[in-house]
Amino acid sequence: MRRQYFGTDGIRGRMGDEPITPETVLKLGWAAGKILLAAGDERGSVLIGKDTRISGYLLESALEAGLSAAGADIRLIGPMPTPGIAYLTRTARAQAGIVISASHNPYEDNGIKFFSSQGAKLPDDIECAIEAMMRKPMRTVPSAELGKVRRFADAAGRYIEFCKSTFPYRLDLEGLKIVVDCAHGAAYQIAPHVFEELGAAVIAIGNAPDGFNINRDCGSTCPATLQAAVLQHGADLGIALDGDGDRVIMVDHKGEIIDGDRILYIIAAHRKESGLPVPGVAGTLMSNVGLEQALKRLGIPFGRAAVGDRHVMALLGQQGWDLGGEASGHVICLDKSTTGDGVIAALQVLAALRASERTLREWAQGMPLYPQTIVNVALERGVSARAVVRAPKVLAILHEVESALGGEGRVVLRPSGTEPVVRVMVEAADPATVSQLSAYLAAAVAKTASGLAVA
């Protein structure tokens, strides 16, 4: 069934524009309540958590009203990282969990995504069933059957303890100075405590959300702020999360960025070195060739999925692997959590540092990166990213760029699943070639998009 609302990562858009409006979200809450209650064996609660956007209050109230109208009980968590909501949904034996967040997007955007009772993304058939229910007239259950609402006690404390439990008990972080950038987002009350309680000296930045500053010049999408802070404070390393805490980018003591690909490599290499099984690692079409080559040297199979943690998760399930992720910082350790978790991924890297007494920089040098440039071409409202990438002129330039590489590099052209942009990625051994060809293709994409906007 063609979906009207659900995309690659839940439902997302600009606040006030469809589908992120009070009316549609109210109907979404009701439809989700009807479908989720029908799928369960008995009446169960639905958890609702959010990040720090100002619009979270409004959307939380709309979801709450819709779920109650369907007869579902609700437990409100408040600000909490997306992976924390997945964890609490599973351990509290809830019927489902709902996250109000637009992840790394600016505060004007917001979104809604669901977790099953097992703490995993909802299956496609359940999302389709919710959309089908939204097309039906909304009918409220009798007053005696309305859902009740209560707060979830000590949600933050429970999740902090869970994160710490994924770090080896015999190790600690004593003597490490770490800068933690919380992106003024959902992890601002969580991440600093986790690393401090394990012994690190923590310098927290991006930890004063006001409803409007989430992801603004900070967090994993703007690592320059973390780089400057690490150098300023003479820290051993830095950790940057995104607005909902499911992405992580790290910075070494010299200010060099350690992206999701290198984080994956360090975790896999440390496990291999420790004698633990690493049956394979899942990346995406955007993963650097350097990751694939470094894993090959370690005898670890590597597979590429379509972009998006949903697709990485699907590949992990197909292969029976438990480690995968994206260069953007989504890192999934299924032996630790049911979804990508920035704090837990960072802890696995820190475990490698402490067990080996090597620095983050020393670990990262085991994976040389191929020069790679990603250009995000912004689209005007109403312009279809898919129409842009399928335009004949764009396809002709794409073929020209691929021919210029002569099989000695890669080109990826794709519409973003979370933002109104087209992503242009070029990767090759020569940095000048990468820069020139990515700019050439991006210019063609921008020109075509501009023409569609005028039309």
pTM assigned to the model: 0.89
Give the pLDDT score at 43: 57
Give residue 1's pLDDT band: very low, low, confident or very high (50, 70, 90): low
Give the pLDDT score at 38: 82
Percent pLDDT > 70 in the chain is 98
Residue 337 annotated in active site: no
In the set 103, 117, 287, 337, the catalytic residue is: 103
pLDDT at residue 455 is higher than 70:
no
Q: For residue 401, give the amino acid letter.
A: V
Give the pLDDT score at 2: 66
pLDDT at residue 307 is higher than 90:
no
pLDDT at residue 8 is higher than 80:
no
* pLDDT tens-digit readout, 91-114: 999 999 999 999 999 999 999 999
More confident residue, 58 or 125: 58
pLDDT at residue 84 is higher than 70:
yes
Token pair 């809830």 is found at: 94
- CA–CA distance, 319 with 160 (Å, rounded to integer): 31
- CA–CA distance, 278 with 110 (Å, rounded to integer): 37
Percent pLDDT > 90 in the chain is 86
DSSP class per residue in 360-393: HHHHHTTSPPPPEEEEEEE--TT--HHHHHH-HH
Q: SS3 helix, strand, coil % of the chain, rounded to 5? A: 40, 20, 40
Minimum mean pLDDT range among 158-167, 228-237, 393-402, 403-412: 403-412
Domains and CATH numbers, the chain: 11-152 (3.40.120.10), 372-454 (3.30.310.50)
Q: For residue 47, give the amino acid letter.
A: L
- CA–CA distance, 191 with 195 (Å, rounded to integer): 7
More confident residue, 44 or 389: 389
More confident residue, 408 or 41: 408
- CA–CA distance, 12 with 102 (Å, rounded to integer): 6
